[in-house]
Structure 1
Amino acid sequence: MRKSLDPAALDAAIENVHRAGMPGLFAEVRDGDQVWRGAAGVADVTTRRPVTTAMRHRVGSITKTFTAAAVLQQAEAGRIGLDTPIARYLPGLVPGGRGDAITVRMLVSHTSGLAEYFPYAYPSLKAFPALADTGPQSLDDHRFTRFDPAELIEMGVTAPAVGTPGGTPGVYSNTNYLLLTRLLEQTTGTTAERYITRNVIERAGLRDTAFPTGPEIDGPHSEMYEAWFGMIDPPRDYSVYDMSWVGPSASLISTVTDLNLFFRKLLAGEIVSRSSLEQMRHTVPVVSQEGKTGDYGLGLYPMREPGQDTFWGHGGTVWGAGALAMIRADGRRQMAVAVNLQRWNDLDASGTPQPHPIDEALAALHRVAMYG
Structure 2
Amino acid sequence: MEAVHRAGVPGLFAEVCDGEQVWRGAAGVADVATGRPVTADLRHRVGSITKTFTAAAVLRQVEAGRIGLDTPIGHYLPKLVPGERGDAITVRMLLHHTSGLAEYLPYAYPSLKAFPALADTGPQSLDDHRFTRFAPTELIEMGVTAPAVGTPGGALGVYSNTNYLLLVQLLELVTASTAEQYITRDIIERAGLRDTELPAGPHVDGPHSLLYESWFGMIDPPRDYSVFDMSWVGPSASLISTVTDLNRFFGMLLAGEIVSPWSLAQMQRTVPVVSQEGKTIDYGLGLYPMESPGQSTFWGHGGTVWGGGALAMTRADGKRRMAVAVNLQRWNRLDSSGKPQPHPIDDALATLYRVAMYG
2:321 corresponds to 1:321: no
Q: Decide whether the 8 Å contact of 1:286 with 1:293 is kept in 2.
A: yes
Alignment of 1:177-192 (within 5 A): 177-192=164-179
**Structure 1: gaps of 5 or more residues:** 1-13
Aligned partners of 1:315 and 1:324 also within 8 Å: yes
CA-CA distance at 1:96 after TM superposition: 4.1
Match of 1:106, SS state, is helix
Within-5 A mapping of 1:288-327: 288-327=275-314
Aligned amino acid, residue 161 of structure 1:
A
In 2, Cα distance between equivalents of 1:77 and 1:115: 30
Q: Distance in 2 between matches of 1:92 and 1:55?
A: 41
Separation (CA, whole Å) in 2 of partners of 1:19 and 1:295: 31
Aligned letter for 1:364?
T
The alignment status of 1:168 with 2:155, answered yes or no, reads yes
> Which residue is 1:6 aligned to?
none
Secondary structure of the residue aligned to 1:97 is helix
Q: 2:273 aligns with which of 272, 281, 286?
A: 286
State the 1:47 CA deviation.
Answer: 0.1
Aligned to 1:245: 232
SS at match of 1:181: helix
Secondary structure class of the residue paired with 2:100: coil
The equivalent residue for 1:263 is: 250
Q: Stretches of 4+ moved more than 3 A in 1?
A: none
Q: Secondary structure at the match of 1:124?
A: helix
Report the equivalent of 1:212: 199
Question: How big is the shift at 1:18?
Answer: 0.4
Tell me the secondary structure at the aligned position of residue 25 of structure 2: strand
Counterparts of 2:204 and 2:210, CA distance in 1: 10
Q: CA deviation at 1:134?
A: 2.0
> What is the CA–CA distance in structure 1 between the aligned matches of 2:297 and 2:206, rounded to whole Å?
34
Say if 2:7 is the partner of 1:20: yes
For residue 7 of structure 1, what is the aligned residue in structure 2? none
Aligned to 2:109: 122
Residue 8 of structure 1 corresponds to none
Amino acid at match of 1:53: A
Q: Does 2:271 match 1:275? A: no
SS of 1:133's equivalent in the other structure is coil
Amino acid at match of 1:56: R
- Give the TM-score normalised by structure 1: 0.96
2:44 alignment partner in structure 1: 57
Counterpart contact for 1:27–1:38, Cα < 8 Å: yes
Q: Give the 5 Å matches for 1:63-78.
A: 63-78=50-65
The code of the aligned residue for 1:227 comes to S
Cα distance in structure 2, aligned partners of 1:42 and 1:311: 29
CA contact (8 A) 1:61 1:250 kept: yes
- What CA deviation, in whole Å up to 9, does each residue of 1:262-305 have, x standing for no partner? 00111111110001000000000000011110100000000001
Match of 1:106 in 2: 93
Q: 1:339 aligns with which of 306, 314, 326?
A: 326
2:192 aligned partner, one-letter code: G
Letter in 2 for 1:126: K
Q: 3-state SS of the aligned residue for 1:248? A: helix
Contact 2:273–2:282 (CA<8 Å) still a contact in 1? yes
Q: Quick one: which amino acid aligns to residue 358 of structure 1?
A: I
1:107, 1:176 within 8 Å by CA — same for their partners in 2? Answer: yes
Any gaps of 5 or more consecutive residues in structure 2?
none
Letter in 1 for 2:205: D
Q: Distance in 1 between matches of 2:200 and 2:180?
A: 10
> Is 1:225–2:207 an aligned residue pair?
no
What is aligned with 1:199? Answer: 186
* 2:9 aligned partner, one-letter code: M
Q: State the Cα deviation string for residues 88-123 of structure 1 (Å, max 9, x = none).
A: 111131134200000000000000000000000000
- In 2, distance between residues paired with 1:336 and 1:359? 17
SS in 2 for 1:29: strand
Count residues with an aligned counterpart: 359
The answer (yes or no) to whether the contact 2:196–2:239 under 8 Å persists in 1 is yes
The answer on 1:235 being equivalent to 2:222 is: yes
Residues in 2 aligned to 1:168 and 1:248: alpha-carbon distance in whole angstroms: 27
- The one-character-per-residue Cα deviations of 1:142-191 (angstroms, maximum 9, x if unpaired) are 00000011100100111110000000210000000000000000000000
Q: Residues of 2 paired with 1:25 and 1:49: CA distance?
A: 13
Report if aligned partners of 1:95, 1:158 keep a CA contact under 8 Å in 2: no
Q: Which amino acid in 2 is paired with 1:326?
A: M
Q: Is contact 1:128-1:291 (8 Å) kept?
A: no
